[in-house]
Amino acid sequence: MQTSVLEKYCDARLPWYTIYPTVAQFSTVVGAEACEKWLQRLPVNESVSLYFHVPFCRSICWYCGFARSITRRDSPILEYLAVLRKEIELVGAQVPQRLPVSDVHFGGGTPTLIEPAQFGALMELLRRRFAVSKTAAIAVEIDPRTFTLATSEALAAAGVNRASLGVQSFDPIVQKAINRVQSEAQTERAVEMLRQHGVIRINFDLIYGLPNQTVQSCVQTATTAVAMRPDRLAVFGYAHVPSFKKNQRLIDEATLPDSPARAEQAAAMANTLIAAGYRQIGLDHFALPDDELTLAQKAGRLRRNSLGYSADTRHKVIGFGPSAIGRLGDGYVQNEVEAGSYSDQINARRLATAKGYCLSLEDRVRAAIIERLMCDFEVDVPAICITHGFDPVPFLGSPERLAMLAEDGIVEVEKGSIRVRQEHRFLTRAVAAAFDAYLGAPLC
C-alpha cells in the first residue's frame, strides 16, 4: 500500500464503528429515566443479549483503553458483586417478566477474578430473573496469568461455552514494553484447562502496533497462536491516546510503529492466519471455516456491535456494571464510568445510566450503511435507504469524501453501491467515516 495513501487515510483516532453514533455523541440528556422507559418497551417475545463489565485486574496493562480498577484484594470484587446483583434486580423489575436471553458476555477487566462459587451464584440469579436460553452463547474474557483450575471448573458448571483469552503478543520484548508479561505456557495451560472441562470454543485477542513490535514478531505471535488452534482470533490495532488514558503515558512513543509499519504488521498477521486455514471476518476478526462467524458472513448476516463482530442477529443489548453500554430499541445508554458513582446510584435504588443517545431515523440509516461496510466491505446505499423509506441521495455521505476515496482508488462507486477495493480494506474505517454525520475532522 502506498505510503502517501496511508498517511492520508490511516488515522488511528478514527472510530472503530462498533456502534453508531459513537460514544462521543452520548449526552446526559438521556439518563436513568429514559433508560427505564426504554427497558419497559422491550418486546417480551424478542431475545436480548446481556453484557457484564467486571472492572478489576491484578495489574495494569499500559496499552489498556478500558475502564478498570487494579486490586490485589478480593473484598472490592465482592462489594462490586453485591451491587451488581442489585442492578440485575433493578433491571429485572423494569423489563418484561422473564425476558428471553440469547447471549451473555462477561468482559472487563478480568471477569475470572470472581471466585468460582460467586460466579456460579451470579449465573443462578441471571437464570431466575431472565429466560436464558439453553442454547445461549455464554462467553467470558480471561487473563491466562490469573486463571485457575477451580475457575475453569466453575465456568463449565455455570454453562459458559466460549472463552476469550487476552494474549496481545507472545514477544517478551513487547510484553515488557506494555507491562503484560505472559508466557506461552500460561496461555497453553489455560486453553488446555478450558477444553478439558468442555469449554471448547476459544477466542484469542492479538494486537499490532504495540511498542517495539515488528513484522517478524507479529508473524511469530500469529504462528504461535495458530498452534493452539483457537476457533477465532481478533487482531486489533493499538490506539495510542495518552491524553485520555493516563496509563498509556507509560509507553515510550518513540517505540511505536508508524502508519506504514502498522499496515505491514496487520497484513503480515492476516496473511499468516489465512495461510493457516482461517477466514478473514470483516476488518479485524479471523475464524475457522465451520465457526459461526464464518457461516454468518457467508449468509450475509454478519453483525457488528459494541463487542466486535457477531453472528447474533439481535439488535438489543442490556449492559450491567460501570461503563457498560447497552443498546435498547430507542437508543444507547451507558452506565456511570466510575465504580463509586455507579455503586452510589444502584445502592440508592436507581438505574446507573449516566448518559446515552436517542436514535433518529437518519441515525439508523447511517448505522446500517456503516455496519455493512464494516462487515462486508461493500454496501448498496440505495437499497438500505429504500428499506428505511429514505431518499438515497442525502445518504451518499459527504460528496467530497467519497469522491476523494474513489479518486485515490480506495473504493469503487457504481449506481450508489460502494465497494472497498481488496488491497485497501485496511482503510475501511476511513470509508465508513464518509457516512458519519458527526465526524468533523477532514480526511486529509
162 and 126 within one domain: yes
- Distance between CA atoms of 149 and 172, rounded to whole angstroms? 25
404 and 304 within one domain: no
Q: Where would I find the H helices in 276-360?
A: 292-299, 339-347
Any idea which residue has 502506498 for its cell? Answer: 2
241 and 153 within one domain: yes
383 and 353 within one domain: no
390 and 276 within one domain: no
281 and 267 within one domain: yes
pLDDT number for residue 443: 40
266 and 125 within one domain: yes
pLDDT number for residue 399: 64
Any domain includes 7: no
Q: Where would I find the H helices in 276-380?
A: 292-299, 339-347, 361-376
The three three-digit cell numbers of residue 33, written as one number: 429515566
Domain boundary among the residues 313, 333, 358 is at 358
Any idea which residue has 486529509 for its cell? Answer: 444
Any idea which residue has 436513568 for its cell? Answer: 32
199 and 85 within one domain: yes
Provide the strand spans (E) within 160-248. Answer: 162-168, 201-208, 232-237
Task: Tell me whether the omega of the peptide bond preceding residue 21 falls within 30 degrees of 0, making it cis.
Answer: yes
Domain containing 278 — which CATH number? Answer: 3.80.30.20
Smallest CA-to-CA distance from 382 within 418, 342, 425 is with 418
Dump pLDDT digits (tens) for 138-174: 999 999 999 999 999 999 999 999 999 999 999 999 9
Structural domain that includes position 378 = 361-435
pLDDT number for residue 96: 87
- Distance between CA atoms of 178 and 292, rounded to whole angstroms? 32
Number of Cβ within 10 Å of residue 120's Cβ equals 17
Amino acid symbol at 246: K
The low-confidence residues of the chain, meaning pLDDT below 50, are 441-444
pLDDT number for residue 410: 93
Number of Cβ within 10 Å of residue 299's Cβ equals 9
pLDDT number for residue 307: 77
Rounded to 5 degrees, what angle do the CA atoms 189, 268, 273 make? Answer: 45
Domain boundary among the residues 331, 358, 385 is at 358
Smallest CA-to-CA distance from 112 within 154, 68, 69 is with 154
392 and 278 within one domain: no
pLDDT number for residue 315: 77
367 and 226 within one domain: no
pLDDT number for residue 441: 45
Domain boundary among the residues 338, 358, 378 is at 358
Whether residue 190 contacts residue 157, with contact meaning beta carbons closer than 8 Å, is answered with no
321 and 291 within one domain: yes
